[in-house]
Amino acid sequence: MQFINLKSLELEESKTIEGVSVGLEGNSLYSWNISFAGPSDTLYEGGYFQALMKFPEDYPNSPPTFRFQTEMWHPNIYTDGRVCISILHAQDELNDQEPPETRWRPILTPEDVLISIVSMLSEPNINSPANVDAGIQFRDKPDEYKKKVRKLIDKALENL
């Protein structure tokens, strides 16, 4: 595995996430500290997020894990910070809702994972929520959802 310094990632439709910082957790090549700004034109804009990406010993044959260290409120993020998106699911995981081409493949890179995370923040999948309460609030009470997200972003910025 190679260490990659990500300064910015080009996204579809010329969207850019700038200020991505990647560093090693301890001295392990298999555990990365990731920091990035919230994507523009989303509820998470203005936020600064920290996460941990861990790679299994058989990477790239198996997907990394991604866990936010910053407290998050999002339908596709478990309350413990783990992210639930198809790109992080192994091919052999049983899930009828995800076609195999949307799951992890060895050709995918850490950049692909980060792009998927940013996309997930922009467009939650409420049909398969990891955080059911956030999914229901996002669908049924969007104003309350927005207030909660903003409150957590403000809290995270105070803790920097």
Residue 146's CATH number? 3.10.110.10
In a domain, 44, yes or no: yes
pLDDT higher than threshold 70 for residue 25: yes
In a domain, 138, yes or no: yes
Please give the model's pTM, rounded to 2 decimal places.
Answer: 0.83
Residue that wins the pLDDT comparison between 37 and 74: 74
Answer yes or no: 24 catalytic: no
Q: Count up the domains in the chain and report the number.
A: 1
The range of the structural domain enclosing residue 127 comes to 8-158
Q: Give the H or E element holding residue 32.
A: strand 28-37
Q: Is the peptide bond before 60 cis (omega within 30 degrees of 0)?
A: yes
| Candidate list 84, 115, 121, 134, residue with the active-site label | 84
pLDDT higher than threshold 90 for residue 96: no
In a domain, 75, yes or no: yes
Rounded to a whole number of angstroms, the distance between the first and last alpha carbons of the chain is 30
Mean pLDDT, residues 5-31 taken together = 62
Q: How do residues 64-85 score in pLDDT, each as one tens digit?
A: 999 999 999 999 999 999 999 9
In a domain, 3, yes or no: no
In a domain, 66, yes or no: yes
In a domain, 2, yes or no: no
3-state secondary structure 56-76: CCCCCCCCCEEEECCCCCCCC
